[in-house]
Amino acid sequence: MKVFNEYLNLEGIDRIKQLFLENGTVEEYKKNSFFIQQGQLQKKAGFIPKGSFRYLRYTQQEKEQVVGYSFEDDFVTSYAAFQRQMPSAASAQAIKDSIVYSLTYDDLNTFFREQDFENLRAQIAEAFLSDIYGRMLSLYCDTPEQRYTQLLQRYPQIINEVNLKEIASFIKVAPETLSRIRKKISSL
């Protein structure tokens, strides 16, 4: 099955999921509630056995911009903010009622050190960097239609997970533009 976030394919990631399930604090998030808010210190990371989250960044005009997703069987955190113990640059909001097993910064990093998983932590960071760099290049170089097609190739289930307005925000187009793209693609 395809995953939205490529780091989920890394060897050893299942052991980290197990760590969250065995040692994490169970938290419930209702639809639209926040795991983390923009500007807030990122003190924990979570694993999502049920539910999903969208990452939002608010513009100066208070407009929501979708900048990422974490779906079921994925992790929820602002990874850079968590690892550097800085305020988060984005918010993580529940798309639907969700269950999260959370661990603190100290808990997770103790695991990385004690289990000699430092290399996995570096691989996760590299996967994030690769993903973000690829998305940045796509925004600069690809057409909106290409961005939409690439998103569907990467994670076809997204159509069933989020509404089209959010997908439009994620690929940086107006909802009307996405409708035209979808109409054009369906007529091919």
Q: What is the pLDDT of residues 115-168, one digit of tens each?
A: 877 788 888 889 888 988 998 999 999 999 999 999 999 899 999 999 999 999
Q: What is the pLDDT of residues 60-98, one digit of tens each?
A: 888 889 999 999 999 999 988 998 999 999 999 999 999
CATH number corresponding to 6-176: 2.60.120.10
pLDDT value, residue 119? 82
pLDDT band at 1 (very low <50, low <70, confident <90, very high): low
Q: Rounded to whole angstroms, how far apart are CA atoms 100 and 46?
A: 6
Please name the residue that has the structure tokens 């690809």: 142
Q: Are 184 and 176 in contact (CB under 8 A)?
A: no
> What pTM did the predictor assign?
0.89
pLDDT at 22: 96
Considering the chain, what is the average pLDDT of its residues?
92
26: left (phi over 0), alpha (psi -120 to 50) or beta: beta
State mean pLDDT over 100-129: 87
Query: Tell me, what DSSP letter sits at residue 58?
Result: E
Two tokens at 87?
Answer: 């305020």
Q: In what helix (H) or strand (E) does residue 29 lie, and over which residues does it extend?
A: strand 25-29
Residue 33: pLDDT band with limits 50, 70, 90: very high
Residue type, 24: G
The token duo for 43 is: 């003190």
43 within 8 A of 86, measured Cβ to Cβ: no
Indicate if the alpha-carbon torsion angle 139, 66, 109, 124 is positive or negative: negative
Ordered by start, the domain boundaries in the chain are 6-176
Q: For residue 114, how many C-alpha atoms fall within 13 Å in the half-sphere facing its CB?
A: 8
Give the model's pLDDT for residue 118. 73
